[in-house]
């Protein structure tokens, strides 16, 4: 399907009658795959509404353009989707976007001894506790505006990804999709907020360990997991680059590192692709 994208590019891009010639609908990344964040913006005009498929999106200004973010779920069917924007004069811009399949390798993974080791019993406990912990992360309060205006940055000064987003971890009786990015970080490394936002939740759970969740507004959340200590409080407004805690190996972790999850409207998206959108 990659070759198809290269040949066709965006499958159709047009404006309904009445559009200003200068108005352009821009979508990044140009060749998205399952699990990617998708940034939609309008050049040369003001937009009042944007949508991906049948989902209406929240519009904000970024670099002087009306912009919206959509999280394409890693389990959502690949294919062609309609992206549209309604301009202030009522004109509608539309384009057809091909979202390709993500290749999801499966790797063997162990459960640490502190969580019972790689046994059938601990695998069942892992599946049930992950489900319950994930349920608590759905529907968190979010701001009705973007709390940030600067580009997003990495949570560590020397970011090295050791485990990427989007592969399956097979522990034997259970398979768990890795829906974040793991960064190399020695125990006690300061972890930075990737942008300005409000700390919505602090928690310490069996699988995710000590966790800080920052709301950046408009349904966009960053989650910092397996921390050894936490330096912020719920309800606190943090700045980009502010330390939220120290890296560690609490919860389901085999060694010290930082796990970063980014969610848009409760959909976990690829953190590396997301951060590249703001370069």
User: What's the angle, vertex CA 194, arms to CA 48 and CA 146, rounded to 5?
Assistant: 20
Asked if residue 212 lies in contact with residue 244, where contact means CB atoms within 8 angstroms, the answer is yes
Report the pLDDT value the prediction gives residue 20, as an integer from 0 to 100. 52
Q: Who contacts 77 (Cβ-Cβ below 8 Å, separation ≥6)?
A: none
Report the pLDDT value the prediction gives residue 12, as an integer from 0 to 100. 46
Q: What is the 3-state secondary structure (H, E, C) of the chain?
A: CHHHHHHHCCCCEEECCCCCCCCEEEEECCCCECCCEEEEEEECCCEEEEEECCEEECCEEECCEEEEEEECCCCCCCEEEEEEEEECCCCEEEEEEEEECCCCCEEECCCCHHHCCCCHHHHHHHHHHHHHHHHCCCCCCCCCCCCCCCCCCCCCCCCCEEECCCCEEECCCCEEECCCEEEECCCCCEEECCCCEEEEEEEEECCCEEEEEEEEECCEEEEEEEECEECCCCCCEECCCCEEEECECCCCCCCCEEEEEEEECCEEECHHHHHHCCC
Angstrom distance (rounded) from CA 248 to CA 135: 23
Nearest to 196 by CA among 165, 218, 227: 218
Report the pLDDT value the prediction gives residue 81, as an integer from 0 to 100. 98
Does this model's pTM top 0.85? My answer is: yes
Asked if residue 175 lies in contact with residue 243, where contact means CB atoms within 8 angstroms, the answer is no
Q: What is the pLDDT along the chain (279 residues), one digit of tens a residue?
A: 333 332 233 444 445 454 456 889 999 999 999 999 999 999 999 999 999 999 999 999 999 999 999 999 999 999 999 999 999 999 999 999 999 999 999 998 898 999 998 888 988 898 899 999 999 999 999 999 999 999 999 999 999 999 999 999 898 877 889 999 999 999 999 999 999 999 999 999 999 999 999 999 999 999 999 999 999 999 999 999 999 999 999 999 999 999 999 999 999 999 999 999 987
């Amino acid at each position: 399907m990659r070759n198809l994208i290269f040949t066709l590019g965006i499958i159709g891009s047009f404006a309904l009658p009445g559009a200003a010639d200068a108005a352009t609908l821009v979508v990044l990344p140009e060749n998205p795959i399952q699990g990617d964040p998708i940034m939609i913006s309008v050049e040369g005009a003001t937009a009042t509404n944007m949508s991906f498929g049948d989902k209406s999106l929240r519009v904000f200004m970024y670099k002087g353009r009306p912009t919206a973010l959509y999280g394409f779920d890693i389990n959502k069917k690949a294919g062609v989707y309609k992206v549209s924007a309604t301009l202030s004069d009522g004109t509608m811009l539309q384009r057809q976007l091909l979202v390709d399949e993500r290749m999801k390798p499966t790797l063997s993974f162990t459960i640490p001894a502190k969580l019972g080791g790689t046994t059938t019993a601990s695998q069942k406990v892992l599946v049930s506790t992950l489900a319950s912990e994930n349920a608590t992360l759905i529907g968190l309060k979010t701001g009705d505006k973007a709390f940030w205006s600067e580009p997003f940055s990495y949570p560590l000064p020397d970011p090295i990804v050791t485990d990427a987003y989007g592969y399956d971890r097979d522990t034997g009786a259970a398979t768990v999709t890795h829906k974040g990015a793991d960064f190399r970080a020695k125990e006690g490394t300061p972890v930075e907020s990737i942008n300005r936002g409000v700390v919505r939740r602090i928690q310490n759970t069996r699988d995710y360990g000590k966790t800080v969740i920052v709301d950046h507004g408009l349904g966009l959340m960053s989650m910092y997991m397996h921390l050894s200590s936490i330096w912020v409080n719920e309800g606190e407004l943090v700045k980009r680059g502010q330390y939220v805690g120290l890296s560690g190996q609490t919860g389901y972790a085999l060694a010290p590192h930082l796990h970063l999850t980014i969610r848009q409207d409760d959909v976990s998206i690829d953190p590396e692709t997301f951060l590249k959108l703001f370069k």
